[in-house]
């Protein structure tokens, strides 16, 4: 039991952390917020998937990817293609020149469904595609880059280029991808209307559940032997290599894992928001997702969720009330977090919060032994 | 595709496209030079490089407004002065940015990336709040308008020639500075061996600051040159940042020569593929080619002897 | 001190109430909230809330700023006249930031959260397509000001700009006749409006005008390097360049065109996407002699327009310019006011039902009328640009009936 708790949650402390987050997401927020704001939170949670992936990739394996939007977008587009085909049955589209195909294809004078769209009529295929397509692309990129020891800054810039390529590619092929507009007007999933209030609640809780699932899987990986190697890699990669491990294989694995997690986020995004567009695939969103992870603490899985929620709520609040100011705030946040809070909120919690808590506990229980206080600066377990 | 044109047309195409390619080459090179100095020599990734370009462009716009208001007689001559002003203002801005932000992050290249991205957001919003969200253009002097016509079908835009000339001039200046002056010597020494340099008495902190400032100044000149081609808006800078980085990385980050070769290759490829493919797809094809080549040869065209991770 | 404050407050409120009661012809008491608002919109006895959803930032800001200004001017003028059904209009302003997902999110916020009675917004077709499902699901009303490609009609949208047949067909007919044009090069920004418009243009050129399309190309929104395109145009030497370049790219395109030596002396160019707003950024000298096909130009000489231009300049500065979309945006609040007064209610369903047949004789473009299909009857004009950024209006058509689903062009 203890071992399971440790592997899945990170020990007793981690279990409490998970429970607190679960409480906030499952009980507190749904009761405090109306469905519109809750739907927004659901959207932020889908970004949190990407942040969790980045915690694995960047915080724990030391690889910074500035193109995670690519995988988020791929997952989103796979789901959107399935949903769009479902919404484009011949009956609903009978006013088109060619009924039975998505509306944007009709506007672009396309008369039959392109070959790569056809398999997406099947839900099992679409679900598989959401996981497999990003993983395959991550694998190819990973092999090409990591085996050649391309890392650090170079890798980051190339991931940016990939994000740019994909978003331009989608933009430029309006007929088959929906182009700039994206794929809009999605209505039902296997007959279930995803736009009703009830569906939005169900999708919200579904996202929460999937998010926790991904966090637990990630923690399982981190608490295995691989986790220790990853930790070592992010500190002193050469020594790990000299010890006989093939560092690139680990990086490839984590890159694929992060890609799949991001893709799940993308799919849930499409279900909750009702459309996808190339503006979620490009450079800007990819870099923003990095800051979500950074704010929470790039080594902290739970921190990723908090970071995402905080930054996005701030963004919405600012852009509603002080639209002129929010870019200043965002830019300032980047600088502040990077320069002054390199381990994010989780780091602040570990360095200051935990010692304060331990001290408070000690003061409360006068006769407790001294040995309970944990050392400052230990790698955060959250 | 090629057969759709006569041979006379093809010659014209290639001439004009090569010139368009050369034009694009000079723009890319001007943008990449500043970055090559900062990134290549100092290992600092400045994601706000595009915004320094925009700062230069806005400076030219301001000069244009001021000349129109206070010294209309000066109108034909203000442009060259404006370029110098762009260099100085962007450079000074860079000086203070290095002092206020970059110098804390030298050991953490990935963090500089993120911090400078934040800086770029702040700069973009500053432009938006000061100059408005709309794009602006300075009034360009008449001698920059129009084109040469060597033959009936070939038009060489004058501003393209101007930008190329400016690029050559700046490149020559940079090379001269780096390799022939004592200041350049100090810069190279600091980059190659910081500890030794400081032990022989070079003030490495000031050298860093000046290097960064010069890189930003060149970016300002690039922005100024750019006003002859397009308009300037708050987010003009972010449009070119990825291209600029790719040029530098593709050429091999430690080599100025590499930057030049890379800018040339990329510009010509993009020009030609844009002609035969649709606009956007031409860009995609070029980017894909660069990425694939980089995957095969990650150190770029002219690799340095010192590998930076 | 506290008592003094309280007394001042009571006095001011009392005076305000008296003033409101003494103001305009429509008193709120004639239109009790329970009668005019049966669907829970944000309406009180003294106020009705509307939303404004445009791009204040991003690549579309250059074009949408005018719409924002015009709508606010119209609402200010309506409020000065006493408001609608005795209620002053309050605006909630949201920024779509030239990003369609943001448009959809803000639209949802305005309709679901703020429960506004009407939304004046959008510019690009992409933004409209992104918000349309939201408006139809939440039953809102959008007043959409931009000329667009047609092929759409919704109970929840009033289209105050021209649709493609009104703008494209009449314009092509004129230029083919005036310039004896036979070959056309179609260019545009890469998204739905230019592509669909060029589809209609091509059909008209090939089937009706019996001309040829010698090239058709699209460039991403926001792109600025048109060197290759211009070279291709030079090679093909079309009689007419038919340009649908949108937003900030306009500036780069026309500047590069001029730098390449292509001016109106040698080349005819007709555009349906360039208004006084864009010309301000491009510079009149780069466009002089080229033609635009629009329903409105700032230089129109009728009494309505002169009053409108004066009011606009008084509020926004004597250098302000007014383009076609700006004027169409100005019409939105006035049309809504007329429709609400005819329906006697703010309820969306009643407003939608009362819309067909609404006429405006005070429109700066002249006379307009709402059609059953929620579009406007309007005229088309051809303007030739001058160096000062204004256009000489060379041609004015008769009133054209809107036909968003034209037979033979789909």
Read off the tokens for A360. Answer: 């408070």
Give the pLDDT score at A376: 52
- Domain assignment of residue A349, yes or no: yes
Closest CA to C197 of C232, C162, C154, C150: C150
For range C30-58, the mean pLDDT: 85
| Residue ranges in chain A assigned as alpha helix (H) | 2-9, 11-23, 29-32, 35-54, 68-87, 103-107, 123-146, 152-172, 174-177, 197-222, 225-235, 237-242, 247-273, 283-296, 301-321, 326-340, 344-348, 354-364
Phi/psi for A187 (5° steps) reads -120, -50
- Domain assignment of residue A2, yes or no: no
Give the pLDDT score at A113: 86
* Shared-domain flag, residues A119 and A236: yes
Closest CA to C364 of C296, C315, C292, C276: C296
Give how far B125 is from chain A: nearest CA, Å.
Answer: 6
Give how far B16 is from chain C: nearest CA, Å.
Answer: 7
Closest CA to C385 of C313, C260, C299: C299
CA dihedral (B80, B84, B86, B92) in degrees, to 10, reads -170
Query: What residues are paired with C216 via a beta bridge?
Result: C186
Q: Is B229 on the interface with C (CB under 8 A)?
A: yes
For range C48-74, the mean pLDDT: 87
Tens digit of pLDDT for each residue in C156-174?
A: 999 999 998 898 988 999 9
Residue A226 has pLDDT above 90, yes or no: no
- The bridge status of strand C157-159 relative to strand C119-121 is unpaired
Contact C59 B149 (CB under 8 A): no
Tens digit of pLDDT for each residue in A62-115?
A: 889 999 999 999 999 999 999 998 888 888 777 677 788 888 887 777 888 888
Residue C23 has pLDDT above 50, yes or no: no
Q: How many helices (H) and strands (E) does chain B have?
A: 12, 2
Helix (H, G, I), strand (E, B) or coil at C40: coil
* Shared-domain flag, residues A251 and A351: no
Which chain C residues are Cβ-neighbours of A279 within 8 angstroms?
A: 99-101
Percent of chain C's residues with pLDDT above 90: 51
Residue B276 has pLDDT above 50, yes or no: yes
Q: Is C399 on the interface with A (CB under 8 A)?
A: no
Closest CA to C244 of C264, C273, C269: C273
Residue A382 has pLDDT above 70, yes or no: no
Tens digit of pLDDT for each residue in B23-64?
A: 778 878 888 888 888 886 677 888 899 999 999 999 999 988
Contact C190 A184 (CB under 8 A): no
Which chain B residues are Cβ-neighbours of C224 within 8 angstroms?
A: 229-231, 239
Cα C178 to the chain's mean position, in Å? 28
Give the pLDDT score at B154: 64
- The bridge status of strand C119-121 relative to strand C142-144 is parallel
Residue C24 has pLDDT above 50, yes or no: no
Which chain A residues are Cβ-neighbours of B128 within 8 angstroms?
A: 324, 327
Closest CA to B211 of B185, B246, B244, B187: B187
In this prediction, residue C202 has a pLDDT band, given cuts at 50, 70 and 90, of very high
Dist. CA C229–CA C189, nearest whole Å: 12
Residue A312 has pLDDT above 80, yes or no: yes
Task: Name the residue among B147, B231, B275 with its Cβ closest to that of C260.
Answer: B147
Counted across chains B and C, CB pairs separated by less than 8 A come out at 113
Percent of chain A's residues with pLDDT above 70: 95
Q: Is B278 on the interface with C (CB under 8 A)?
A: yes
Range with the lowest mean pLDDT among A301-315, B180-194, C315-329? B180-194
Contact C100 A181 (CB under 8 A): yes
Range with the lowest mean pLDDT among A365-369, C208-212, C280-284? A365-369
| Interface test mutation site (partner A, options B50, B127, B129, B242, max chain A beta carbons within 10 A) | B242
Where does CATH 3.40.50.2300 sit in chain C? 41-162+302-378, 164-294+382-396
Residue C318 has pLDDT above 70, yes or no: yes
Contact A331 B119 (CB under 8 A): yes
- Other Cβ atoms closer than 10 A to A57: 27
Task: Name the residue among C99, C108, C133 with its Cβ closest to that of A184.
Answer: C133
- Domain assignment of residue A12, yes or no: no
Number of domains observed in the structure of chain A: 2
Give the pLDDT score at A370: 54
* Shared-domain flag, residues A306 and A365: no
* Shared-domain flag, residues A235 and A364: no
Q: Is A152 on the interface with B (CB under 8 A)?
A: yes
Residue C68 has pLDDT above 60, yes or no: yes
Give the pLDDT score at B308: 43
Closest CA to A272 of A334, A329, A206: A206
* Shared-domain flag, residues A155 and A61: yes
Choose between C156 and C152: higher pLDDT. C156
* Shared-domain flag, residues A349 and A262: no
Helix (H, G, I), strand (E, B) or coil at C91: strand
CA dihedral (A93, A96, A100, A105) in degrees, to 10, reads -120
Structure pTM? 0.82
In this prediction, residue C410 has a pLDDT band, given cuts at 50, 70 and 90, of low
- Domain assignment of residue A22, yes or no: no
Residue B256 has pLDDT above 70, yes or no: yes
* Shared-domain flag, residues A365 and A283: no
| Residue ranges in A322-366 assigned as alpha helix (H) | 326-340, 344-348, 354-364
- Other Cβ atoms closer than 10 A to B175: 15
- Domain assignment of residue A23, yes or no: no
DSSP secondary structure code for residue B3 in this structure: G
Read off the tokens for C121. Answer: 């917004």
Tens digit of pLDDT for each residue in C104-132?
A: 889 999 998 899 999 999 998 888 988 99
Give the pLDDT score at B142: 74
Tens digit of pLDDT for each residue in A280-290?
A: 888 888 988 99
Give the pLDDT score at B17: 73
ipTM exceeds 0.95: no
Residues B25, B225 contacting (CB under 8 angstroms): no
Choose between B130 and A381: higher pLDDT. B130
- Domain assignment of residue A180, yes or no: yes
Which chain B residues are Cβ-neighbours of A66 within 8 angstroms?
A: 113
Percent of chain B's residues with pLDDT above 70: 90
Contact B278 C248 (CB under 8 A): no
For range B90-105, the mean pLDDT: 90
CATH fold group of domain C164-294+382-396: Rossmann fold (3.40.50)
For range B216-233, the mean pLDDT: 86
Which chain C residues are Cβ-neighbours of B15 within 8 angstroms?
A: none
Contact C251 B230 (CB under 8 A): yes
CATH fold group of domain C41-162+302-378: Rossmann fold (3.40.50)
Task: Name the residue among C100, C199, C218 with its Cβ closest to that of A277.
Answer: C100
* Shared-domain flag, residues A353 and A218: no
Give how far C218 is from chain B: nearest CA, Å.
Answer: 6
Residue B309 has pLDDT above 50, yes or no: no
- Name the residue of chain C whose CA is nearest to B161's CA: C259
CA pseudo-torsion sign C285, C287, C289, C292: negative
Task: Name the residue among A107, A182, A274 with its Cβ closest to that of C196.
Answer: A107
Segment 35-94 of chain A within 8 Å of chain B by CB = 64, 66
Tens digit of pLDDT for each residue in A136-152?
A: 999 999 998 888 877 77
Segment 24-53 of chain B within 8 Å of chain C by CB = 24
Tens digit of pLDDT for each residue in B120-162?
A: 989 988 998 888 777 787 877 777 776 777 666 666 777 778 8
* Shared-domain flag, residues A42 and A116: yes
Q: Is A322 on the interface with B (CB under 8 A)?
A: no
| Residues listed for chain B | 309
Task: Name the residue among A151, A152, A334 with its Cβ closest to that of B121.
Answer: A334
Give the pLDDT score at A378: 47
Residue A371 has pLDDT above 60, yes or no: no
Average pLDDT, chain C: 86
* Shared-domain flag, residues A262 and A368: no
* Shared-domain flag, residues A139 and A108: yes
Dist. CA A119–CA A108, nearest whole Å: 21
In this prediction, residue C16 has a pLDDT band, given cuts at 50, 70 and 90, of very low
Contact A97 C221 (CB under 8 A): no
Choose between B148 and A299: higher pLDDT. A299
Residue B253 has pLDDT above 80, yes or no: no
Dist. CA C181–CA C12, nearest whole Å: 68
Give the pLDDT score at A375: 47
Cα B284 to the chain's mean position, in Å? 21
Q: Is C147 left (phi over 0), alpha (psi -120 to 50) or beta?
A: beta
Residues of B with CB under 8 A from a CB of A: 45, 101, 104-105, 108-111, 113-115, 117-125, 128-129, 238, 242, 245-246, 249, 278-281, 283-284, 287-288, 290-291, 294-296, 298, 308-309
Task: Name the residue among B9, B146, B157 with its Cβ closest to that of C235.
Answer: B9
Q: Which helix (H) or strand (E) holds B70?
A: helix B49-70
* Shared-domain flag, residues A360 and A290: no
Average pLDDT, chain A: 85
Dist. CA A197–CA C95, nearest whole Å: 25
Task: Name the residue among A36, A181, A185 with its Cβ closest to that of C191.
Answer: A181
For range C198-225, the mean pLDDT: 87
Choose between B191 and C89: higher pLDDT. C89
- Name the residue of chain B whose CA is nearest to C221's CA: B280
- Domain assignment of residue A243, yes or no: yes
Q: Is C105 on the interface with A (CB under 8 A)?
A: yes
Helix (H, G, I), strand (E, B) or coil at C382: strand
Phi/psi for B280 (5° steps) reads -65, -40
Dist. CA B32–CA B243, nearest whole Å: 9
Residue A348: domain span: 344-382
For range A238-266, the mean pLDDT: 92
Dist. CA B40–CA B231, nearest whole Å: 29
Q: Is B139 on the interface with C (CB under 8 A)?
A: yes
């Amino acid at each position: 039991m203890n071992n399971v708790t440790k592997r899945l949650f990170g020990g007793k402390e981690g279990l409490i952390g998970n429970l607190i987050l679960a409480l906030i997401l499952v009980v507190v927020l749904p009761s405090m917020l109306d469905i519109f704001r809750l739907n927004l939170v659901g959207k932020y949670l889908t970004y949190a998937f990407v942040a969790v992936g980045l915690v694995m990739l960047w915080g724990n394996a030391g690889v910074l990817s500035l193109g995670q939007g690519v995988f988020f977008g791929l997952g989103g587009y796979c789901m959107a293609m399935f949903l769009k085909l479902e919404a484009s049955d011949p009956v609903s589209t009978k006013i088109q020149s060619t009924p039975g195909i998505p509306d944007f294809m009709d506007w672009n004078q396309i008369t039959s469904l392109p070959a790569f769209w056809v398999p997406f009529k099947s839900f099992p295929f679409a679900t598989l595609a959401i996981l497999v397509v990003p993983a395959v692309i991550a694998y190819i990129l990973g092999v090409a880059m990591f085996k050649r020891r391309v890392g650090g800054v170079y890798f980051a810039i190339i991931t940016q280029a990939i994000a740019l390529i994909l978003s331009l590619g989608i933009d430029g092929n309006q007929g088959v991808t929906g182009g700039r507009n994206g794929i809009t007007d999605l209505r039902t999933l296997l007959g279930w209307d995803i736009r009703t209030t009830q569906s939005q609640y169900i999708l919200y809780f579904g996202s929460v559940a999937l998010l926790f699932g991904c966090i637990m899987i990630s923690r399982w990986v981190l608490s295995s032997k691989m986790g220790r190697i990853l930790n070592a890699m992010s500190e002193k990669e050469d020594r790990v290599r000299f010890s006989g491990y093939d560092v690139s294989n680990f990086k490839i694995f984590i890159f694929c894992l992060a890609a799949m997690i991001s893709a799940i986020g993308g799919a849930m995004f499409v279900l909750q928001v009702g459309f996808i567009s190339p503006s979620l695939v490009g450079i800007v969103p990819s870099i923003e997702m990095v800051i979500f992870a950074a704010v929470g603490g790039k080594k902290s899985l739970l921190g990723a969720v908090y970071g995402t929620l905080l930054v996005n709520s701030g963004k919405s609040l600012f852009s509603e009330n002080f639209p002129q100011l929010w870019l200043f705030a965002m830019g300032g946040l980047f600088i502040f977090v990077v320069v002054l809070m390199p381990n994010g909120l989780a780091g602040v919690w570990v360095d200051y919060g935990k010692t304060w808590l331990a001290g408070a506990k000690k003061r409360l229980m006068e006769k407790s032994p001294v040995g309970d206080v944990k050392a400052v600066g230990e790698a955060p377990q959250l | 595709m090629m057969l759709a044109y006569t041979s006379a047309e093809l010659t014209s195409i290639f001439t004009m496209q090569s010139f368009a390619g050369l034009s694009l080459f000079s723009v890319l090179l001007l943008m990449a030079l500043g970055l090559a100095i900062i990134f290549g020599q100092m290992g600092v990734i400045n994601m706000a490089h595009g915004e320094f370009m925009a700062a230069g462009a806005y400076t030219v716009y301001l000069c244009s407004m001021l000349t129109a208001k206070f010294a209309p007689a000066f109108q034909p001559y203000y442009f060259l002065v404006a370029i110098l002003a762009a260099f100085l203002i962007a450079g000074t801005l860079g000086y203070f940015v290095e002092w206020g932000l970059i110098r804390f992050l030298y050991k953490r290249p990935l963090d500089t990336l993120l911090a400078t991205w934040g800086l770029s957001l702040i700069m973009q919003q500053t432009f938006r709040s000061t100059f408005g969200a709309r794009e602006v253009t300075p009034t360009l002097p008449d001698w920059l308008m129009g084109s040469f016509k060597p033959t009936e079908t070939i038009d060489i835009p004058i501003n393209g020639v101007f930008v190329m000339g400016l690029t050559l001039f700046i490149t020559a200046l940079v090379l001269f500075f780096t390799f022939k002056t004592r200041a350049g010597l100090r810069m190279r020494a600091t980059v190659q061996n910081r500890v030794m340099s400081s032990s022989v008495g070079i003030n490495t902190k000031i050298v860093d600051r000046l290097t960064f400032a010069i890189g930003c100044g060149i970016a300002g000149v690039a922005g100024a040159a750019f006003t002859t081609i397009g308009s300037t808006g708050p987010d003009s800078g972010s449009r070119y940042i990825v291209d600029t980085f790719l040029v530098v990385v593709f050429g091999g980050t430690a080599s100025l020569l590499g930057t030049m070769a890379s800018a040339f290759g990329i510009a010509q490829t993009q020009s030609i593929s844009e002609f035969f493919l649709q606009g956007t797809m031409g860009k995609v094809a070029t980017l894909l080619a660069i990425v694939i080549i980089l995957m095969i040869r990650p150190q770029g065209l002219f690799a340095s002897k010192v590998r930076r991770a | 001190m506290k008592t003094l404050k309280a007394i001042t407050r009571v006095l001011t409120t009392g005076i305000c109430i008296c003033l409101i009661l003494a103001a305009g012809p429509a008193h709120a008491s004639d239109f009790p909230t329970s009668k005019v608002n049966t669907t829970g919109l944000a309406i009180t006895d003294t106020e009705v809330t509307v939303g404004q959803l445009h791009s204040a930032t991003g690549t579309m800001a250059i074009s949408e700023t005018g719409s924002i200004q015009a709508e606010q001017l119209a609402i200010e003028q309506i409020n000065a006249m006493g408001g609608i059904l005795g209620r002053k209009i309050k605006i909630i302003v949201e920024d779509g930031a030239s990003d369609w997902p943001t448009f959809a999110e803000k639209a949802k916020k305005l309709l679901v959260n703020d429960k506004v009675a009407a939304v004046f917004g959008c510019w690009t077709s992409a933004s409209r397509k992104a918000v349309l499902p939201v408006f139809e699901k939440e039953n809102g009303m959008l007043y959409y000001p931009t000329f667009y490609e047609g092929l759409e009609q919704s109970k929840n949208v009033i289209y105050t700009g021209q649709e493609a047949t009104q703008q494209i067909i009449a314009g092509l007919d004129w230029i083919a006749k005036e310039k004896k044009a036979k070959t056309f090069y179609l260019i545009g920004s890469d998204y739905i409006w230019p592509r669909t418009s060029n589809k209609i243009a091509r059909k008209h050129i090939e089937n009706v005008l019996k001309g040829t399309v010698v090239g058709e190309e699209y460039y991403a929104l926001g792109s600025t390097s048109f060197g290759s395109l211009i070279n291709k145009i030079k090679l093909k030497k079309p009689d007419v360049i038919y340009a649908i370049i949108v937003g900030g790219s306009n500036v780069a395109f026309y500047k590069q065109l001029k730098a390449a030596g292509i001016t109106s002396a040698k080349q005819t160019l007709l555009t349906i996407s360039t208004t006084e707003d864009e010309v301000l950024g491009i510079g009149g000298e780069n466009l002089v002699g080229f033609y635009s096909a629009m329903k409105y130009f700032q230089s129109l000489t009728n009494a309505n327009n002169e009053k409108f231009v004066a009011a606009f300049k008084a509020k926004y500065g004597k250098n302000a310019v007014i383009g076609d979309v700006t004027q169409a945006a100005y019409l939105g609040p006035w049309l809504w006011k007329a429709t609400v007064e005819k329906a006697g209610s703010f309820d969306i369903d009643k407003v939608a039902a009362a819309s067909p047949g609404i006429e405006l004789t005070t429109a700066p473009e002249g006379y307009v009328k709402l059609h059953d299909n929620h579009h406007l009857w309007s005229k088309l004009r051809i303007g030739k640009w001058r160096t000062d950024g204004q256009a000489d209006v060379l041609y004015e058509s008769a009133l054209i009936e809107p036909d968003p689903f034209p037979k033979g062009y789909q």
